[in-house]
Structures are given as C-alpha cells and as structure tokens.
Amino acid sequence: MPAKVITLTSGKGGVGKTTATANLAVALAAEKSKVVCIDGDIGLRNLDVILGLENRIVYDLVDVVEGRCRLKQAMIRDKKLPDLYLIPAAQTRDKNAVSASDMIRVAKELRSDFDFVLIDSPAGIERGFRNAIAAADRVLVVTNPEVSAVRDADRVIGILESEEKGPASLILNRLNPTLVKSKDMLSPEDVLDLLAVELIGIVPEDENVVIASNRGAPVAYDAKSRAGQAFRNIAKRLKGETVPFLDLDAQGSLWDRIQRLAGRK
C-alpha cells in the first residue's frame, strides 16, 4: 500500500510541531511501520537535533531538489529504529529553494517505499507552510491550550479548508491537567468547541519531553512516560485503530486515585 503523506503544522511557532513530528515518527516506526520524515523548515532546521541525527547529515532536501544527490543519499537512517528515516532541511538556504511541486515530486517518489511520510512544516502561513501542505493527504494541526496558539490554529484550519486540505485533525499539546482543573487553562472541551475540528490526541505537559530533546532521543521511545504514551496513542489512531483518550486525572492526588480504584469517582 502506498504511503500516507501527513503534514504537521500550527501557525504559531513553539507549540511543539517538530517534537510532535519526531515523536509520531518514532511511535509509528516502533509499531513496525516504515516511516520517513521530512524537515520542511528550510533555513531553520531542527528535526535532526530532536531525533539525535544531526551528526549524520551529508545531503539535504535542497540537494535533492537541485539534483546534487539522489533521494536515497539524503535519507538518514535512525540509530535505533531501522525503519525510520529523516530527510533534513538545508540550513544555509531559504524557503524559496524549494517549491510546492518539488515537495509533491519528492513525496511521490517516497510513497511506494514507505507506510508514512511525515512532513514538519515551518511556523507561519507563508511559502514554507504552503510547500509543506502541498503533498499532504492529511494535515495535523498542533496547538497549545493558550489564546495565541488557538487563534493561530483557527487561522490555519481556515486556510486548509479553503485549500481543500481539510478537514484537519487537532493535536492538543502541553496540556496541564492541574491548571485545567483549577480553571486556569482552557480545557480540551473548550478548545474543541472553539475550533470545531476533530481531535486526534491530547499530549500532557511532561518534563520528560525536555529531557528527551536534550538527549536527542524522542520521548516516544519511552512508552511509559505520559507524553510518550500519548504520542503512541496518536500513532495508533493514524493507523486507524480506536484508542481512548488519556485519562488526564491520572496525575491527581493519591486520594483521587484510591477513590477511582474504588469506583467512587
């Protein structure tokens, strides 16, 4: 079966697009899918460091597009997962080095060899974003439960609809259950009510994400961490499985947990 091309985008920067792309790639490959991820952020590449593959880069996406190497030569195999590859972005060029038709051509060439092609979009709604969504069969919008991130996500969802790339699915990243409980953070229900899109995953705030980035080994390698588990669930949903959403209260007090175990809550 030819690969599904999935683009992750957000409008606002810093909401966790690159982290989400790296983690979904790891989670899908850990579930025996063949995955290649493409860093679409030409000039500001980061997917390589998040995946811990920065020292292995020889060729990049712009080298492929401009014919300096074959596509296979720009593909870097992951250290741990043999079915996971990265095509890095160029660091010394800008968005204009790649066009939408280049992206479509590269994705087409990859489709026959993989189950999933994940594209990490740059922030914003300009050329780099347009390139990143050009080849997508499906678009995942990453947002945080904060006013600016939700507003920008709404803008992106609107553009995706008008470009006939919708309906988008939402990843609600960095949710803090304690703040939601004290009504100091928008809840998943609030965000879905505002954006009116399908939810594909909620990722709780988890310090392990920072630690994982420091090490260059995405948190999804650790299926026991809360964020890692959330990303693995999203990967399963992308494969068409039905997985219940994480119980966000599981972090509650000992008394809460005892009550839940006793079936009183």
Partner 1 sequence: MGFFDRIFGKKASADSAKERLQLVLIHDRTDLTPAELDSLRDDLIATISRHVAIDAKAVQIDVEHDGRSQRLVADIPLKAARRKSRKTK
Distance of closest approach, residue 191 Cβ to partner 1, in angstroms: 9
List the helix and strand counts (H, then E) for the chain.
Answer: 11, 8
Count of CB atoms situated within 10 Å of the CB of 99: 15
When the beta carbons of 161 and 207 are compared against partner 1, the nearer one is 161
Q: What is the DSSP letter of 204?
A: E
Window of 94-102, 118-126, 154-162, 209-217 that interacts with partner 1 by CB under 8 A: 154-162
Distance of CA 65 to the CA centre of its chain: 23
On whether the CB atoms of residues 115 and 3 are closer than 8 A, the answer is yes
Window of 2-10, 82-90, 153-161, 239-247 that interacts with partner 1 by CB under 8 A: 153-161
Distance of closest approach, residue 174 Cβ to partner 1, in angstroms: 15
When the beta carbons of 164 and 184 are compared against partner 1, the nearer one is 184
From residue 184, alpha-carbon distances to 90, 146, 151 in Å are 40, 10, 18
Cα angle 183, 187, 193; round to 5: 125
Is residue 58 helix, strand or coil?
A: coil
Distance of closest approach, residue 24 Cβ to partner 1, in angstroms: 25
The answer to the question of residue 139 lying near partner 1 (CB under 8 A) is: no
Window of 23-31, 65-73, 113-121, 149-157 that interacts with partner 1 by CB under 8 A: 149-157
* CA 231/CA 223 separation, integer angstroms: 9
Distance of closest approach, residue 195 Cβ to partner 1, in angstroms: 8
* Interface with partner 1 (CB under 8 A), residue from 161, 163, 198, 207: 161
The answer to the question of residue 147 lying near partner 1 (CB under 8 A) is: yes
Q: Which residues between 166 and 225 bind partner 1 (CB under 8 A)?
A: 180, 182-187, 190, 193-194, 196-197
Token couple for 93:
């060029």
The answer to the question of residue 162 lying near partner 1 (CB under 8 A) is: no
* CA 189/CA 176 separation, integer angstroms: 14
From residue 109, alpha-carbon distances to 97, 103, 154 in Å are 19, 10, 32
Distance of closest approach, residue 229 Cβ to partner 1, in angstroms: 25
Element housing 141 (H / E): strand 138-143
The answer to the question of residue 155 lying near partner 1 (CB under 8 A) is: yes
Distance of closest approach, residue 264 Cβ to partner 1, in angstroms: 25
Interface positions with partner 1 (CB under 8 A): 146-147, 150-151, 154-155, 157-158, 161, 180, 182-187, 190, 193-194, 196-197
